[in-house]
Amino acid sequence: MSGRAPEVVRVATAAPYDVTVGRGLLASVPDLLRRTLPGVRRVALVHPEPLGALADDLAARLGEHDALTVLRLPVPDGEVAKTVTTAERCWTALGAAGFTRSDAVLTLGGGATTDLGGFVAAAWLRGVPVVHVPTTLLAMVDAAVGGKTGVNSAAGKNLVGAFHEPAAVVCDLDLLATLPRAELVAGMAEVVKCGFVADPAVLDLVEADPGAALDPAGDVLAELVVRAVRVKADVVAGDLRERGGDATGHPGREALNYGHTLAHAIERAHDYGVRHGEAVAIGCVFVADLARRAGLLDAAVAERHRTVLAAVGLPTTHDATPFDELLATMRVDKKSRGASLRLVVLHALADPRILADPDEGLLRAAYAATGPAPGEPHEEEAP
């Protein structure tokens, strides 16, 4: 995408919006706001505290010529921000400033920021417009698109939230150059996931040149972002509120949760100290092995999960967190129905289905297969 015009992916839900992917887009955010939300004169800018300088720059652009008044809402960095307490602080600030339905929320940050900021917008006055400017790979391809918002609670991750679609999403690929490499690698888990559940060309691109896939300045990563956004846009347009799939057996939006049931349990067990993408990578390996053991998935496709994820530096094994602890959390996952544990699995490449109430012996065996190989140290013992 270097030197090329930005690409626009249309999310064709009942309230359609555009996801713009390109370079040098941060400067265009004020004009986009004026075009998309012409009546807005005040904006609440939600951003993590470490991105203060970038938020300063964006706020200055928004305020040029007195076009927009900006209320700064700095929040903690990462998953620790996703609490009702933080959201309440934001709502208190909006109330003190007199924010009305003609005002808007603008998020600048990673997935936790878009989740939190979207939830703040969804609940304030029962819904004010929100525009997302994701700054991480994970947020660009996942959290900022699709309208899922939420915070974490003692019961689990993202169990408190609302569907609230953005008015627009701006993915400035230049921002990826500022990411620590570990964060860029973690975000690749959501990209690879899209390859397995819907677009195998993603896997081909990663396997052909894993280094190029992680180069923020190159065209391969740009292509991967666009493809992942298209996958999510297509799925969301057909099943925004995750109410189910179609007559073919496709699980609809639930397909995007591939690998996430175990991933969310791992995150909670580690008090959200494990990166989301790292947990998703382990979760994908787990459900692929589960599907193989259940006789649903070819062994070669299951093994491909390990090779593709490892090629970009993602973990494919996990430490010895007791499975009973993880299983208890998995049973209150959003995809569960009553006492039924439901997991997204593959029957073949790009053929996701729901596996309900799998045999517990298979679950335990698949989890054991994500442990370190004989002779390898556990995560906490690694040098």
78 is in an annotated binding site: yes
For residue 336, pLDDT beyond 90:
no
What do you get for the CA distance between the two ends of the chain, in Å? 38
312 is in an annotated binding site: no
pLDDT (tens digit per residue) in 357-380: 999 999 999 999 998 755 444 443
127 is in an annotated binding site: no
CA angle, 127 then 131 then 136, to 5°: 125
- pLDDT for res 372: 73
7-178 belongs to which CATH class? alpha beta
113 is in an annotated binding site: yes
115 is in an annotated binding site: yes
In Å, how far are 239, 241, 309, 363 from 342, measured between CA atoms?
A: 18, 17, 24, 12
More confident residue, 16 or 239: 16
* Amino acid identity, position 144: A
Catalytic residues: 126, 148, 190, 232, 242, 253, 257, 260, 264, 276
243: helix, strand or coil: coil
CB atoms under 10 Å from CB of 334, counted, come to 18
pTM of the model: 0.92
Distance of alpha carbon 218 from alpha carbon 190, whole angstroms? 19
Numbered ranges of CATH 1.20.1090.10 in the chain? 181-381
Task: Read off the DSSP letter of residue 241.
Answer: T
Distance of alpha carbon 26 from alpha carbon 24, whole angstroms? 6
Average pLDDT over residues 98-127: 97
77 is in an annotated binding site: yes
Q: Smallest Cα–Cα separation from 110: which of 161, 176, 193?
A: 176
More confident residue, 5 or 141: 141
Distance of alpha carbon 210 from alpha carbon 312, whole angstroms? 6
Strand partners, 9: 19
CB atoms under 10 Å from CB of 378, counted, come to 13
Distance of alpha carbon 55 from alpha carbon 88, whole angstroms? 21
126: helix, strand or coil: helix
DSSP for 100-120, written as a single string = -TT-EEEEEESHHHHHHHHHH
Averaged pLDDT of the chain: 92
- pLDDT for res 377: 46
335 is in an annotated binding site: no
pLDDT (tens digit per residue) in 211-236: 999 999 999 999 999 999 999 999 99
How does residue 320 score in pLDDT terms, banded at 50, 70 and 90?
A: confident
Residues with Cβ within 8 Å of 250's Cβ and at least 6 positions away in sequence, in order, are: 352, 353
Please, is 362 exposed, middle or buried when counting C-beta atoms within 10 Å of its C-beta (0-12, 13-18, 19+)? middle
156: left (phi over 0), alpha (psi -120 to 50) or beta: left
Average pLDDT over residues 306-324: 94
276 is in an annotated binding site: yes
Q: In this structure, are residues 131 and 37 in contact, taking their beta carbons and an 8 Å threshold?
A: yes
For residue 382, pLDDT beyond 60:
no
pLDDT (tens digit per residue) in 162-177: 999 999 999 999 999 9
Percent over 90 (pLDDT), the chain: 83
Q: Smallest Cα–Cα separation from 160: which of 217, 85, 91?
A: 85
Q: Is the dihedral of CA 245, 249, 255, 259 positive or negative?
A: positive
Among 38-42, 244-248, 290-294, the least confident range:
244-248
Distance of alpha carbon 24 from alpha carbon 207, whole angstroms? 28
What kind of architecture, by CATH, is found in domain 181-381? Up-down Bundle (1.20)
Numbered ranges of CATH 3.40.50.1970 in the chain? 7-178
pLDDT (tens digit per residue) in 79-97: 999 999 999 999 999 999 9
- pLDDT for res 347: 97
Largest CA distance in the chain: 65
111 is in an annotated binding site: yes
- pLDDT for res 5: 83
Distance of alpha carbon 115 from alpha carbon 160, whole angstroms? 11
pLDDT (tens digit per residue) in 262-303: 999 999 999 989 999 999 999 999 999 999 999 999 999 999
